Structure 1
């Protein structure tokens, strides 16, 4: 048995880390004007500037079934018998659906599609965990752990966005109606619940929203006292804000290992510029290079 790990581009794992751990990636797409771009082939800063200058948001799309089939055929030729294919939540993207459709089109290789029910850094952490444990655990054990890993007792994430406008326009916010009428006046805190993006708090200022997130993190971390936690702070084209907040969190939670990452084009399209995310896991993962 030879097992490959595949993850979609919304994991935002750097290319050197993908290569180091032999993780294969398949990109989602963004449409800017009349042009279609694979999100792992465009510069983040260029994209944020383009998005800010447009009257209407760019659109995003999942990888085509054809692209998946080409990847799976390539893996089969390289001798792989099985693939662990991890993807962003099926509640916000058709990526998992296309992965499953491609899997039945390629003979000789078994594809195990994992719906992470989340996106961005937490998805990347799941892919890293899988790749780092291929030689240590059986395929069945690893798949079971990945299912456990995405549960709230093992992984969670909160998001703070400047405005709900992008999520509302893109149709990715499940309870948007609760916040209509105050879209530009609040700093909403979001959470993935059963794979859906849910607005869970309405806060008037960014500072108060960050303090609220810290309270929620404290409550989560208290549940896992004594465990080695890994957390990732993710920013939307706000590196100084991200770095400052990371330092504050490191001082408040010295028992947690924090890394800093940026939202790439697909997730940025829906969360908007200036968004912040914080996700964590109780599983031990080597995040060197992130």
Structure 2
């Protein structure tokens, strides 16, 4: 048995992690009018946000092309892999998890074991990193690895701040939007994932207050955990991301804190200027 770990492009893992653990990715797509781009392959994050500012019409997104998924599996099979753990973004906001199930029946000689992270961005990537580290440490029973990842969900979470809910509402990715209707232009909504869906967590008057509330909520959830990994995520606003990262490092000195970003697909729905924090108290090596 030889086990590969793959994820999709919305994990936005640093290339150094992909190289270190030989994690393969399959790309989701962002569509501007009639032009389809595989994110991070056909279009960079910088180009995406620049293009987004010039467009009057919101782009759309789609799950990976089945041909791309099958080609990746064929490639892994040729390299001698017999099994694939496929860590994907929440099935409640994308059909990528379903694509993994479908692809499994299309390539003989290699078996796909899809894992629904029920979240997205680099917290999703945390699951892929953990799977790799478990394999490196000698865990070779697929069901045990998947069970470990499933248990990790109870100690992992993420919160996002958006300037308004327009993009999420237009894209149909937000559940419970009625909780903020009528005030979404006056507040900074805090969102999180519940049962695979993005739902409102709270509505706060300013971004600064929203950030403070998220910090307080994380503190409640992690307690005095000695194993704390945190990712600060920004939507084309690296300066704000770095500043918040510095604040988080001061507030949680025991944590390993990294910086990431909302790429084209997630950026389509959250919009430019969004900020987020994801975390897990699962022991995780974030060194690169």
TM over 0.5: yes
Provide TM-score, normalisation by structure 2: 0.96
Provide the C-alpha distance between the structure 2 equivalents of 1:247 and 1:77, rounded to a whole number of angstroms.
44
Residue 162 of structure 1 and its aligned partner are, at CA, apart by: 0.9
Q: Is the 8 A contact 2:227 2:284 kept in 1?
A: no
Provide the C-alpha distance between the structure 1 equivalents of 2:213 and 2:112, rounded to a whole number of angstroms.
41
Structure 2 matches for 1:80-95, cutoff 5 A?
80-95=81-96
Residue 105 of structure 1 and its aligned partner are, at CA, apart by: 1.3
For 2:122, the equivalent position in structure 1 comes to 121
Gaps of 5+ in 2: none
Provide the C-alpha distance between the structure 2 equivalents of 1:275 and 1:267, rounded to a whole number of angstroms.
10
Provide the C-alpha distance between the structure 1 equivalents of 2:69 and 2:252, rounded to a whole number of angstroms.
41
Residue 33 of structure 1 and its aligned partner are, at CA, apart by: 2.9
Runs of 4+ in 1 over 6 A off after TM superposition: none
For 1:278, the equivalent position in structure 2 comes to 277
Quick check: 1:134 aligned with 2:135? yes
Quick check: 1:22 aligned with 2:25? no
For 1:234, the equivalent position in structure 2 comes to 233
Residue 279 of structure 1 and its aligned partner are, at CA, apart by: 0.6
Q: Is the 8 A contact 2:157 2:279 kept in 1?
A: yes
Gaps of 5+ in 1: none
Provide the C-alpha distance between the structure 2 equivalents of 1:20 and 1:124, rounded to a whole number of angstroms.
14
Quickly say closer, same or farther: Cα 1:226–1:31, change in 2 above 3 A. closer
Residue 17 of structure 1 and its aligned partner are, at CA, apart by: 2.1
For 2:66, the equivalent position in structure 1 comes to 65
Provide the C-alpha distance between the structure 1 equivalents of 2:225 and 2:52, rounded to a whole number of angstroms.
43
Residue 14 of structure 1 and its aligned partner are, at CA, apart by: 2.2
Provide the C-alpha distance between the structure 2 equivalents of 1:32 and 1:14, rounded to a whole number of angstroms.
25
The aligned length equals 285
Provide TM-score, normalisation by structure 1: 0.95
Provide the C-alpha distance between the structure 2 equivalents of 1:282 and 1:226, rounded to a whole number of angstroms.
7
Residue 275 of structure 1 and its aligned partner are, at CA, apart by: 0.5
For 1:35, the equivalent position in structure 2 comes to 35
